[in-house]
Structures are given as C-alpha cells and as structure tokens.
Homo-oligomer: A and B are copies of this chain.
Amino acid sequence: MTTLTSAFTAPEVLARSRDLVRPALREAVGRMHPWMAEMAAYSFGWCEIGGDPAAGSGGKGVRLALAVLGAEAAGAPGRAGVPAAVAVELVHAFSLLHDDIMDGDPARRGRPTVWKAYGTGPAVLAGDALFALAVESLADAGPGALRALSAALADLVRGQADDLLFATRPWAGPERVRPDEYRVMAEHKTGALLGCAAALGALLGGAPAATVATLDRAGRQLGIAFQIVDDVLGIWGDPLVTGKPVHGDLRERKKTFPVLAALDSPTPAAARLARLLEADGDPEEIAHLVEGCGGRTAALAEARRHSASVAAVPELRPLLDHLLRREL
C-alpha cells in the first residue's frame, strides 16, 4: 500500500485529538447516573471494574480524531469539532457495548466486556445511557448535526442487522452473501459513523455543504477500507501484532470480504472452498484456498480503491496511512 506523507504522523494526530476531546468527554460521562458512568468509564478504559482508575489507554480514538480533523478541514480550529467528537465517541461506545452482547464476545482489548463484567441487563442499559447522552450532547448543535447523527445511527443498526443475518446464510448457492452486500454492510456498520464524525466536525467548523458531503463520503470509504483490512488481518495477520488467534475469523466462520470474494470467483477451487466451509474444514487449508482463489488480492485491491477518495482530503491522510498500512 502506498505510504502517504503528512506534516503530522498519525500517532501525533491521534494523541493531540484525544487530549483536546477528553475533558469534554469526561464531563459528559460525569453527567450520567453514577452506575452507568462507571460502566461507561470502564468501557473507555479509564477505570477498572469497581471504579478504580486504570492505567490502560482505551481505544485509539479514530472517530474523535476524524471529528477534530473535519473541523480543521473546514478551516476552523480543531476545538470546534469537540462536540461532534464527544457525540461520535459516545455512539461508538454504545455500539461496542451492545455489539459485544449480540456477538457474545467475552473480552475486548484484553479485558472482560461490559456485559461479562457487569451483567447483560446493566450493559444494555449502559449502552442506552450512552446513546441518550450522545443525542443530548448534540441537541444544541443545530438540526443539520442531529440529522447527520440520526442518519448514522440508523445506518449503524442496519449494518449490524445485516451482519447478524449474514451468519445465518449459506456459503454457496443463490442465497450466499455477495461481496457487494458485504460492502454495503461495512459502509453502514463501520463507515457511517466514521463519515458522520468527519462530516459533523466540518459542519461545526462552519464548512459549506459540499465540504461536509466530501468528508462524509471520505469517512465512509475509510470505514469500508478499514473493515476489509481488518478482515485480511483476521485471517493472515501476525497474532503477536493483532492480538487475535491465527485464522481466528475463519475458526469463527465469519463471512469476511476475502472469503466472500474468493467464493465469488468462477473457479473449481471456489466450489471446493464452499464445500470445505460448509463441512467446517481445516482453517489452514481454507486460508490457503481463499488466497488461491484470489480472495486476499481482491480484498487488498478493494481496500486500496476505497482509500483513494480518503487520500483526496489532505487532513485525513495521516489516519489513512496509519489505519491501512498497519502490518500488511
């Protein structure tokens, strides 16, 4: 993947954005019901179970950085994007809490997930509280901001619904999941909130509608590219770097882009791959066949294609570089 250069490195941009946004985010979480605030702080990596301060770093903060960079792309100071950054971070935290329940995931970033630590009911409610707080935090930002946020929320849910339904569909035949459907799902599930972050930042920075739309599109494309790169890492990534088991996504029978692209190739090997997947075959052999059917190459080409429109927004380049290169 092409290395892009920028005045700032991604770690610098991410750290600067986190520093800018964190006080407002902490203030917002501090307005929550104390029990909900503890679960929220735990999910952000700020505290341990029970409320003791944590040493951990939490997430990278890609969404909040996009909001800050969106404001800067509008020619405003980054701090103009802070309310947008707070709203999207809260929405992201809400979606992680609820997705972990739906997926039954017991761990995230090496710690028990919120539902595992606090129970399913409280985790559902903490997600709802974060959702409500996100809406509240933008209530004064004008109708355009709330329209953008609610559209992203609707897409987010739609993408998660499709992702859950993909798991119930067969590997072969007319009912199989096509790469095109995957792309739409990834745009909704991952891209919509990234696009919303950048667009909201630009909107609060006073950008004209065309700039807001460009940033929304760039964020969505970044989301698709990011998701597909994640899929590639989930099959061929180095476990020491990704922190995930070898062939983890294949063991979990996830319908990821490389696998779907491989199955879509009109070759005898694709038919053999489908049979192996249906029969719960050896992950090592499946990974080999996916690669042989061109799944890995197709995925990387697809990620590259989607990153082109992101690279056209200079402010977003450091993030693109950081997110997509990783250890590929």
| A-to-B contact residues, CB < 8 Å | 33, 35-36, 98, 101-104, 120-122, 124-125, 127-129, 131-133, 135-136, 139-140, 142-143, 146-147, 149-151, 153-154, 156-158, 160-162, 164-165
Report B-chain residues with C-beta under 8 Å of the C-beta of A147.
Answer: 136, 139-140
Contact flag A157-B128 (CB < 8 Å), given A101-B120, A136-B150, A150-B135: yes
**Nearest chain-B residue to A140 (Cβ)?**
B143
A102 and B131 within 8 A (CB): no
Q: Which of the residues B36, B103, B104 comes within 8 Å of A161, measured between beta carbons?
A: B36
Complex Cα spacing A157 to B147, Å: 23
Copy tally for this chain in the complex stands at 2
Task: Identify the closest chain B residue to A160 (Cβ).
Answer: B125
Cβ contacts under 8 Å, A124 to chain B: 98, 101-102, 124, 127
User: Are A35 and B161 touching (Cβ within 8 A)?
Assistant: yes
Q: How distant is the Cα of A22 from the Cα of B112 in the complex, in angstroms?
A: 43
Tell me whether A133 and B154 are in contact (CB under 8 A). Answer: yes
Residues of chain B contacted by A156 (CB below 8 angstroms): 132
By beta carbon, the residue of chain B nearest A104 is B121
Complex Cα gap A215–B139 (Å): 21
Majority SS at the chain A contact face: helix
CB of B33 within 8 A of CB of A157, answer yes
Q: Are A136 and B157 in contact (CB under 8 A)?
A: no
In angstroms, how far is the closest chain B Cβ from the Cβ of A28? Answer: 11
Task: Indicate if the CB atoms of A132 and B150 lie closer than 8 Å.
Answer: yes
Q: In the complex, A156 Cα to B158 Cα: how many Å?
A: 24
By Cβ-Cβ distance, the 6 closest A-B pairs, closest first, are: A102-B121, A132-B153, A136-B150, A129-B157, A135-B150, A139-B147
Nearest-Cβ distance from residue A41 to partner chain B, whole angstroms? 15
Complex: A154 Cα to B36 Cα, angstroms: 11
Contact across chains for B160 and A136 when beta carbons are under 8 A apart: no
> 28 A-B Cβ contacts within 8 A?
A33-B162, A35-B161, A36-B157, A98-B128, A101-B121, A102-B121, A102-B122, A102-B124, A120-B120, A125-B157, A125-B160, A129-B157, A129-B158, A132-B150, A132-B156, A133-B154, A135-B150, A135-B153, A136-B147, A136-B150, A136-B153, A136-B154, A139-B143, A139-B146, A139-B150, A140-B143, A140-B147, A143-B143
